[in-house]
Chain A
Amino acid sequence: MKRIINAALVLMLAATMLYAGDGKKYGNDLTLKETTQVSDILANPEKFEGKKVLIEGTIVDVCPTRGCWIDISSDKEYQTIKVKVKDGEIVFPMEAKGKTAVVEGEVYSFVPAVQEESKHAEGEKMEKANKTECGDKTAEGGCCSGETKVTKVYQIKGLGAVIKS
């Protein structure tokens, strides 16, 4: 019995050493070879939307509660791009701040909820204004035409990452 237990422990230890990640790789293996400059993505995000990219930069911020996003610095000053991962699938550690990361993911866009809400609220406000100031004229092409500019936010849906020490 003792022999079996000892053998099992040795096997478990060996397997753990063999299979345990080096603590630097997160999620899927990186498949792309060529990196895209973050500044290129930010300069022309529509071109990259829906496409898989490989980026590299300093991790300047990490989601403090669940490790579900990181901000990666651009090759140009002052710029960053957010890499969002599925909660629990990849968990970035807080210690990653300041380290260099190579991240593979898909560029996507969304309209922040706050903007959506304000657009909705503005729409309601415009509707009221139309009724009071323009009779029952609709906003489209009328005197109270007020298009709200909605800014899309571009992020990267992170699929895999390697954090260099």
Chain B
Amino acid sequence: MNWRKYVKIIHRDLGYIFFGLTVIYSISGIAVNHVDEWNPNYKIENKTFAITPNPDSSAANETMIAYVIEQLAITDTVKNVFRSGPVSIDIFFENKTVNANLLTGNVNMEIVNSRPVIRETNFLHLNAPKKLWTYVADAFAFGLIILAITGLFMLKGKNGITGRGKWLTIAGVLLPLIFLLLYI
């Protein structure tokens, strides 16, 4: 059995094993690459409302909450509350927060919804779980190095590393180097 056969076996099996992780890391990679343009984990919607002002700074939180949710016709259960000022209050619901100013009647409602799949891929890609996942991610990174190296020697002949593969490999190495020279 020649060495190239082992290279192919290693490349093939690592490819199977790391298929899922490669897809996860790639999706998250694209998502977090554009973090300045969008929130990769949440869809945040802000709505503004105008309610009838009721500036009673001595009003208890419960009175203020009842007034705001009645004005906005909210039926969700109140999770918590924070009195941010004498006539302003933050009311927390399961996936929304209402900031109401009873002096002006201005209300901002922030509705937060998780981006399914993408958020989970980011969670793993950015190593939020830490602990054991750190070792899985390390193994994946090491596996990618093995995949890259074995990939170079899979084929022989004109499409192998001594032929066309050589030029494509050089191009692939030059690409990040050019950007490093341009931006550093």
Residues of chain A at the chain B interface (Cβ within 8 Å): 15-16, 19-21, 58, 60, 64-67, 73, 77-78, 80, 88, 91, 93-95, 97-100
Q: A80-B82, A94-B114 are in contact. List 19 more A-B contacts (CB 8 A).
A: A19-B133, A60-B84, A60-B90, A64-B42, A64-B44, A65-B39, A66-B35, A73-B82, A77-B83, A78-B84, A80-B84, A91-B128, A93-B41, A94-B42, A94-B44, A95-B112, A97-B92, A97-B97, A97-B112
Among residues of B, the one whose C-beta sits closest to the C-beta of A15 is B132
- What is the minimal beta-carbon distance from B69 to any residue of chain A, in angstroms? 14
Among residues of B, the one whose C-beta sits closest to the C-beta of A93 is B41
The B4-48 residues at the A interface (CB cut-off 8 A) are 35, 39, 41-42, 44
Residue B129 at the A interface, CB < 8 A?
yes
- What is the minimal beta-carbon distance from B176 to any residue of chain A, in angstroms? 22
Is A58 a contact partner of B42 (Cβ separation < 8 A)? no
Could you list 20 examples of A-B contacts with CB < 8 Å? A19-B133, A20-B131, A58-B80, A60-B82, A60-B90, A64-B42, A64-B44, A65-B35, A66-B35, A67-B41, A73-B82, A78-B85, A91-B128, A94-B42, A94-B44, A97-B92, A98-B80, A98-B92, A98-B93, A99-B79
- What is the minimal beta-carbon distance from A43 to any residue of chain B, in angstroms? 18
Given contacts A88-B126, A94-B42, A98-B92, contact A58 B131 (CB under 8 A): no
- A-B contacts counted at CB < 8 A amount to 55
Is A21 a contact partner of B126 (Cβ separation < 8 A)? no
In the complex, chain B residues whose CB is within 8 Å of the CB of A21: 129-131
Residues of chain B at the chain A interface (Cβ within 8 Å): 35, 39, 41-42, 44, 79-80, 82-86, 90, 92-93, 95, 97, 112, 114, 126, 128-133
- What is the minimal beta-carbon distance from B64 to any residue of chain A, in angstroms? 12
- What is the minimal beta-carbon distance from B7 to any residue of chain A, in angstroms? 21
In the complex, chain B residues whose CB is within 8 Å of the CB of A58: 80, 82, 92
Is B92 a contact partner of A20 (Cβ separation < 8 A)? no
- What is the minimal beta-carbon distance from B130 to any residue of chain A, in angstroms? 8
Given contacts A19-B132, A78-B83, contact A94 B126 (CB under 8 A): no
Q: CB < 8 Å: which of B42, B83, B84, B97 contacts A98?
A: B97
- What is the minimal beta-carbon distance from A18 to any residue of chain B, in angstroms? 8
Complex Cα spacing A98 to B65, Å: 14
Complex Cα spacing A60 to B128, Å: 22
In the complex, chain A residues whose CB is within 8 Å of the CB of B84: 60, 78, 80
Complex Cα spacing A21 to B133, Å: 11
In the complex, chain B residues whose CB is within 8 Å of the CB of A16: 132
In the complex, chain B residues whose CB is within 8 Å of the CB of A60: 82, 84, 90
In the complex, chain B residues whose CB is within 8 Å of the CB of A100: 80
- What is the minimal beta-carbon distance from B133 to any residue of chain A, in angstroms? 8
In the complex, chain B residues whose CB is within 8 Å of the CB of A80: 82, 84
